[in-house]
Amino acid sequence: MKTKIIVILGPTAVGKTALSIELAKRFKGEVISGDSQQVYRGLDIGTAKVTETEQEGIPHHLLNVRDADQSYSAFDFVTEAKAAIADIHRRGRLPIIAGGTGLYIQSLLEGYHLGGQVPHEEILAYRAQLDTWSDEALFGKIAELGLDIPQINRRRAMRALEIAHLGGRLENSQPDYEALLICLDDERERLYERINQRVDHMLEAGLLEEARWLYDSYPDVQASRGIGYKEFFPYFAGQMSLEEAVARLKQNTRRFAKRQLTWFRNRMKAAFYQVGEPDCQEQIMQDIRRFLERERL
């Protein structure tokens, strides 16, 4: 029998966090973060990490599970999310995953082992090697192997090279979950305005100081490449004005939101809901009730 889970997807700033907490209160659930940046301790403002007050007493998992100088991968997420789901389900609660990192959530739902018989350290070593390659080298290798991977999709290219390099020892498995995927969306202008306002609020809350700490302490780690931090590095280096850095952050965040929606539409079987419609939340609640009342697989 597969474990039923709820997955809340959507672009940044669309309202995933608020919805996940409301669902947890109504359906006796707990929230698992599906965000690749919120795992880092000390990176709170730039990642829009839910605060203790905002959690309203709802347990949250996979927040603050890495130091800023540590790496985090889809393999790590799948491993730790599975453990959290099992724990939540065992206690009679509903697992609710909320986040915008499509690769991580897709890997969990589609049953990727992301390793098979290959030692985790070997995968990480090869992945770290690929991460140092330029796009030219990466896609040159893809072309050499005769693989058709769009050049805008670096992650997919790296995954294809991992499989080609490690061969049959990489494998997938059948997914362990029956998941209801809910993807929030909104009109572009309204979403982009919320993104711009969120950046302004982050700055008021101390984002610049948080980014400066990362720049001074760990400028070359994985976490420093996240949107919300990397845009300020040229400013700290005296290569850009603060106004230019803020404008770039807003632009990059808007573009990221667009990429997220493209991923969810093209790669994941989610039901889309327009948050601007007055009956949006009630429709989601009804769909969840029907899903939970359906006979389990």
Binding-site positions read: 10-17
Measured in whole angstroms, how far is the alpha carbon of residue 42 from the centre of its chain? Answer: 18
How far is residue 228's CA from residue 201's CA, in Å, rounded to a whole number? 12
Are the C-beta atoms of residues 105 and 7 closer than 8 Å to each other?
yes
Rounded to whole angstroms, the Cα distance separating 272 from 215 reads: 38
* Three-state SS at 171: coil
Instruction: Compute the Cα dihedral for 285, 291, 294, 295 and give only its sign.
Output: negative
Q: 3-state DSSP call for residue 153?
A: coil
Contact 94, 4 (CB under 8 A): yes
Q: Which of 40, 44, 102, 43 is nearest to 74 (CA)?
A: 102
Contact 270, 98 (CB under 8 A): no
Under 8 Å between Cβ of 270 and 181? yes
Annotated binding-site positions for substrate: 12-17
**At 274, is the secondary structure helix, strand, or coil?**
strand
Q: Which residues are annotated as a binding site for ATP?
A: 10-17
